Amino acid sequence: MIVGQISLCRFPLWEMCLKELCKHCDELYLRFDNVNGDKEILNRIPMVCGTKLKDILVSNKTFHKWHWREEMLRQLDNTKCDIVISIDEDEILDKSIDLEIKEFQKSNKNHMWVSYNSMPTEDGKSILNGLSYPKFPHVKVYKWYPNMTYDGYHGNCLIPKIHNNNNRWIAKSKITHYCFYKNEWIKNKIENMKTYSVKNYFKTYYGTTLCGYDT
């Protein structure tokens, strides 16, 4: 069984991203940020997911770099899932991920590193010199094991205790990331990034700012 997870808050295109995730999984276990989230999203979730929705965790905890991920892992403690797809509310996986997950499931690998496509924009203009954001792959698919934990988390969605270079799957499928899709979203997104990202992220990894902004 394949389980899909997203933590929802207030991203404007959340519904599009959630609908796409539904296509890749059998069941959905979602988290809603009740501290900062748009309550209308919480009301609409059941209509978007239909019968695939099995649980919504309404969290009243303030944002922490990995504690929210741990909350979502604990949602799965009593499930019988084999594969977990865990993406953000502003991400969509390539359609080819379905076949690749089947191959991954039969392999001896236990976590899948997924890279990003170049950033889409509403006006079609290239940003970040046509490169992807984030620049580095993240673990977006993994095999479920009891007692998994994000304790010791450093970044890139990696579950620390399952990481080993010998058991990682490097995906050919990619993620399309919509966080900078509209120009008016860029400033607020980068202000939010300052709470968890390294200083001058874009100058450090891209050699340029993002439309004049940086962390």
Residues 190 and 129 occupy one common structural domain = no
Residues 175 and 116 occupy one common structural domain = yes
Residues 120 and 204 occupy one common structural domain = no
Model pTM? 0.94
Residues 118 and 92 occupy one common structural domain = yes
Residues 96 and 189 occupy one common structural domain = no
Residues 109 and 200 occupy one common structural domain = no
**Please, how many CA atoms are within 13 Å of residue 90, restricted to the half-sphere of its CB?**
18
**What 3-state class would DSSP assign to 8?**
strand
> Taking a C-beta distance cutoff of 8 angstroms, is the pair 93, 24 a contact?
yes
Q: What is the pLDDT of residue 49?
A: 97
> Taking a C-beta distance cutoff of 8 angstroms, is the pair 65, 153 a contact?
yes
DSSP state of 120: P
CATH number at residue 162: 3.90.550.10
Residues 128 and 172 occupy one common structural domain = yes
**What gap in Å lies between CA 71 and CA 67, rounded to an integer?**
6
Residues 189 and 176 occupy one common structural domain = no
The encoded tokens of residue 138 equal 């993240």
Residues 163 and 189 occupy one common structural domain = no
Per-residue pLDDT of the chain (215 residues; tens, 9 = 90+): 999 999 999 999 999 999 999 999 999 999 999 999 999 999 999 999 999 999 999 999 988 878 999 999 999 999 989 999 999 999 999 999 999 999 999 999 999 999 999 999 999 988 888 889 999 999 999 999 988 999 988 889 999 887 777 899 999 999 999 999 999 998 888 988 888 888 999 899 888 888 888 99
Range of the domain at 191: 184-215
Residues 60 and 100 occupy one common structural domain = yes
Q: What is the pLDDT of residue 166?
A: 86
The 8 Å CB, 24+ separation contacts for 38-41 are 38/9, 38/10, 41/8, 41/9, 41/10, 41/14
Tally of structural domains, the chain: 2
Residues 93 and 125 occupy one common structural domain = yes
